Each structure stands twice: as structure tokens, then as C-alpha cells.
Amino acid sequence: MSHYLGIDIGTSGTKTLLIKADGTVVAEANAEYPMHQPRPGWTEQDPEDWWQATIKTVGNVMRSSGLKPADVKAIGLSGQMHGSVFVDKAGKVIRPALLWNDQRTTAECDEITQAAGGRKALIKMVANPALTGFQAPKILWLRNKEKRNFDKLAKVLLPKDDIRRRMTGNYVSEVSDASGTLLLNVVKRTWSKKLMGKLKLDMDLLPEVVESDQVTGTLTSEAAKLLGLTTDCKVVGGAGDCAAGAVGNGVVKKGVLSTSIGTSGVMFVHSDQPQYDAAGRLHTFCHAVNGKWHMMGVNLTSGGSLQWWVDSVLQGLAGIDKAKRYEAATAEAEAVAAGSNGLLFLPYLNGERTPHADPNARGSFVGMNLTHTRGHMTRSVMEGITLALRDSLDIIESLEVPVKQIRASGGGSKNPFWRQMQADVFGKKITRLEVEQGAAFGVALLAAVGDGAYKSIESACTATIKVAEETKPDRKAVANYNQLFPIYRDLYQQLKGSMSALADYQSSSH
């Protein structure tokens, strides 16, 4: 039977999955790498780390499966979205990549909005407003702040597309990830020459753009050797990690939503047509499914807030094995009542995207009293993260998008207590898949479709994805969270000015 690889270049590490054409997972491997923060709000990674992690994890899955190199027919690539890899004429990376959660480009976002003729005109061209994490403002930042590097620039690539370049020698992206550059005409699924012109950027900077299941090349002999595969192995378009995760969760038709609690938090909904939130709070992007779109709300520091809380603050848990640390912390949270006795946490530790689009937003605990313990604080971190996802759900529902099913995914949703919390905060039934392998599984399926094992992405999902269990909302907890949600929502409005003043203070005291 043919086999396929799905590779997800995540923020905390790379995950590689080897599947059979029927969707059975044969082997998986992970490799971590650091994220650098040279200044508050700046986030960078070395693309070489991604490539070394790719070589290592592919080697590991091939060894543990015992397969022959020729058994792997195609590879699907997924990755953290919006990042910028700057490459020179000789194919050398010019400087560390700027990531999706980097907040240095406020001035460049204003520059783009102005050049486009205002926010409305920009949304008309590329379906989205300018946000600091997106790729286009990063290109302008390089031009404004590192002119010498900009002069060397020949191509700008998204993280997974840099891995494709190293694998195939080809400069290609695909529509789902390209949507997050702010340079794609999302409706037409082609680059926006109009916006590139207004920004005075050369079209040659951009790679070719294709649909997600299209074959983009085969492995070069050097890459085949490094990866232990053959030069016949195809590489398909793949997808940005959100669309890839949605394919991996079977979110490929109307009425199905998915939530993901990873480092970031994502509320994702499929749409048959491009659909907009006029206020620009949700992103409107191409789906990895040909001719389909999606909307999503993104929280920048979702599971990342719990990670910060457990690793940086609860140092008392530091002696516990990493895998067990979250369980130990969340068990304390589970022992206290829903609502954390009125303690609220705002998870805006590195600014926020949905619904505030504010790089200066900052995190806070509000409502603390003498009854509160460590368990209450952990629970309120988890509740704050979940209430932030509800912000996105409310916007989606306000656009009259039918919500028939919510599928929970990501590291946080593996925890049954957090799935119950999601059901209670959203007031909706939550489903979970039998095997949840996220984005890497989604792009392995895209590779199978690209290789001809399935007629369509939808049929690949129907054949391979099974829902395992449902979590029903608890009526009392739902009422409790319904009471807290408006208070939570109001807090940002009340604290916005102070958050911004503190963000200024933090940058000046750096």
C-alpha cells in the first residue's frame, strides 16, 4: 500500500506523521526548537532549525516503520502561518524568520492601510485588514528598518514553503497559507497585483501559488539523500496549520466548526463562499479544499498562556516530568468550582488578534480576593483562554453562520476537563475524533489526494476520520459562564488605556 508523510513545522517543534493510504498512522516523530525573543513583542526562529527537525523526524519515522524509501509516494507540508523567510538570489536565508506572533510592525500596518486607500479598500482587495503578524507588513519592515537586507531580497517565503524549497528546489506556495500574507486576492485565489503595486513591491518577490492538493515538485537528489526517500517522491501544496488542522479534523463542510488550543487558539469555520466580518475581527482565508473558504478567529497566546503559567510561574511544579506538569496543574484547577470564585484572567500576554487586533493588549488577573488559591488561578487562566475562544464563536454566530457541531483539537483539548470547560463556556456539545493528529494528518491526507489515492479532499476525510466521543454542556456551568462572559468582555474595554501605557513602559524599560 502507498504511504504518505505529513510534516507540520509548528512554533514549538516539527511533527512528522507517516500514514497508510487508508489513514492508519504508522509512525510519528517530533523535534523541538527554540523561539527567540530579541525584544519584547519580537519573535524569530532560524529556518535551518526547521529543516534539521524535518530531516530528523522523517529519518525517525522511516526507521521505526521499517518501510523502504520508495514506499513513500508523497509529502504534504503544513506549518505555522504568516512567518517571513527572506531569501537572496543564491537561495540563502538573509536573516532569522519573523513569526506569526511578532508584533513589531504597527507602523507598517498603517502604511499598508494608507497605501491601499483605507481599511475598507484593503479588505476589498485582500479580504482582511492589516494585522501585525501578517507577512506583508514584515516585508515593509525589512524595507524600512533593514534596508541592506531588503536590497539582497529575492523571494519571501512562508515557513513550510521554505521547507518545500529545500526539498524540491521550487518556490511555490498554496492558497490557504498565502491568504495569511495579506497579498492574496482571497476571492480569486491569486496574488493581488493591485496591492503589490500600491505597496511598490516587485511581483517577483512572491512564489507561484497553487491549490493545496496540487503537486509542486519532487525531491531533489540532495534532499532525497538527506531524508532517506527517493527522487520520485512528490511534494503537494499542503496548507497553513489552521486549514491543515481543519482537514485533519474533517472540517470540510458547512456547519462544522473546530476549536484548537495549541500555543495559539483558533476557532475555525468552513464556508462555501468567501464570507466576511465587516469589522475585520475574523480572518477570511481560502480553505485547503479546492474552491472553498473559511473564517477564523485567532488568539495569540491561548495554550501558550497555560504554558507560561505552568512553566514560568508555577515553578513548584518544575520537578515534575514535563508531560505530567499540565495534568498536575489542571487537577488543582478541576478541584475548584466553575467561575474560579470570580477571578478572571485576560490571556493577552503578547497582544491579541481576535477580536481586539491590539499588539499592546496585555494579560491580567482581575477580581482577586483572599479566598483565591493556586487552583483558582490556574482555573481562571484556563477559563480566560476559553472565554477568548467564545469571543470568536460569538462573532461567527452573529454572522448567522450555522453551527451544528464543534470539534475540539490541539494539545489543550486532549484534556477531558478542558473539553468539558469548552462545552460549558460555549454552551454547545463538543466532539472529539478517534485519532486526533491535527495538521500533520491533514496534510498527509492532502498528499494522498495529490497522489490520486482519493478523488477529493472531502472523500479522503469521510474515509479516514471518525468521531470518538461527545461532551455535553452542563446546564448549571453554562449559566455560570453566561453570567461571567459580559464581565470578561467588558474588561478589555476598561483596561485598554492602561494596557497600552504599560506596553509603552515595557518597551522603554527594555
Ligand X SMILES: O=C(CO)[C@@H](O)[C@H](O)COP(=O)(O)O
* Site for ligand X contains 348 (CB under 6 A): no
* Residue selected from 41, 238, 262, 280 as contacting ligand X according to rule CB under 6 A: 262
Is 241 a catalytic site residue? yes
| Of 79-87, 188-196, 247-255, 421-429: span binding ligand X (CB under 6 A) | 79-87
Which listed residue (105, 106, 263, 307) binds ligand X by CB under 6 A?
Answer: 263
Contact status: 413 vs ligand X (CB under 6 A): no
Q: Which is nearer to ligand X, 283 or 432 (CB)?
A: 283
If one asks whether residue 105 binds ligand X (CB under 6 A), the answer comes out as no
Reduce the DSSP state of residue 209 to 3 states and report it: strand
Closer CB to ligand X, 13 or 217, in the complex: 13
Q: Across the strands, what pairs with 351?
A: 349
Q: Which is nearer to ligand ADP, 248 or 411 (CB)?
A: 411
Coil, helix or strand for 243? Answer: helix
E strands present in 50-108: 72-79, 85-88, 97-98
Task: Cell numbers for 451, please give them.
Answer: 497522489
Q: Among candidates 244, 475, 248, 493, which has minimal Cα distance to 356?
A: 493
- Closest approach, Cβ 310 to ligand ADP, in A, equals 8
Largest CA distance in the chain: 66
Work out whether 392 is an interface residue with ligand X (CB under 6 A).
Answer: no
Residue 283 labelled as part of a binding site: no
Q: Does 192 bind ligand X (CB under 6 A)?
A: no
Residue 83 Cβ vs ligand X, minimum distance, rounded to whole Å: 8
CB of 326 to ligand ADP, least distance (A): 3
Min. distance of Cβ 455 from ligand X in angstroms? 29
Give the residue with the Cβ less far from ligand ADP, 192 or 392: 392
Q: Pick from 282, 298, 314, 447: which binds ligand X (CB under 6 A)? A: 298
* Closest to ligand X by CB, 35 or 463: 35
Residues 408, 419: contact at Cβ < 8 Å?
Answer: yes
C-alpha to C-alpha distance for 439 and 447, rounded to whole angstroms: 12
CA atoms lying within 13 Å on the CB side of residue 205 = 25
Per partner kind, with CB cut-offs from 5 to 8 A, the member of ligand ADP, ligand X, none near residue 447 is: none
Tell me the residue nearest to ligand ADP as measured from the CB.
411
**Between the CA of residue 350 and those of 66, 117, 261, 363, 500, what are the distances in Å?**
43, 29, 16, 8, 12
Is residue 386 part of the contact set for ligand X (CB under 6 A)? no
Indicate whether 80 belongs to the interface with ligand X (CB under 6 A).
Answer: yes
Residue 66 CA from chain centroid, whole number = 32
Give me the least distance between CB of 76 and ligand X, in Å please. 16
Question: Is there binding between residue 360 and ligand X (CB under 6 A)?
Answer: no
Residue 123: partners with Cβ closer than 8 Å, 6 or more residues away? 129, 276, 280
**Nearer Cβ to ligand ADP, position 79 or 207?**
79
Residue list 230-259, contact with ligand X (CB under 6 A): 241-242
Residues near ligand ADP (CB under 6 A): 10-12, 261-263, 303-304, 306-307, 326-327, 330, 410-412, 414-415, 418
Minimal distance in Å, beta carbon 327 to ligand ADP?
5
For the chain, state the CA radius of gyration: 22
| Residue 82 labelled as part of a binding site | yes
C-alpha to C-alpha distance for 385 and 411, rounded to whole angstroms: 13
Out of 162, 241, 277, 358, pick the active-site residue.
241
Q: Is 244 left (phi over 0), alpha (psi -120 to 50) or beta?
A: alpha
Contact call for residue 157 and ligand X (CB under 6 A): no
Q: How far is the CB of 413 from ligand ADP (least distance, A)?
A: 8
> How far are the Cα atoms of 1, 83, 451 from residue 46, in angstroms, in the given order?
36, 11, 31
198 phi/psi in degrees, rounded to 5: -65, -30
For the chain, count helices (H), then strands (E).
Answer: 17, 23
Neighbours of 489 (CB within 10 A): 15
Nearer to ligand ADP, 240 or 262 (CB): 262
**Distance between CA 467 and CA 133 in Å, rounded?**
33
- Catalytic positions: 241
The annotated binding site for substrate is made up of 81-82
Residues that bind ligand X (CB under 6 A): 10-11, 80-82, 100, 133, 180, 241-242, 262-264, 266, 298
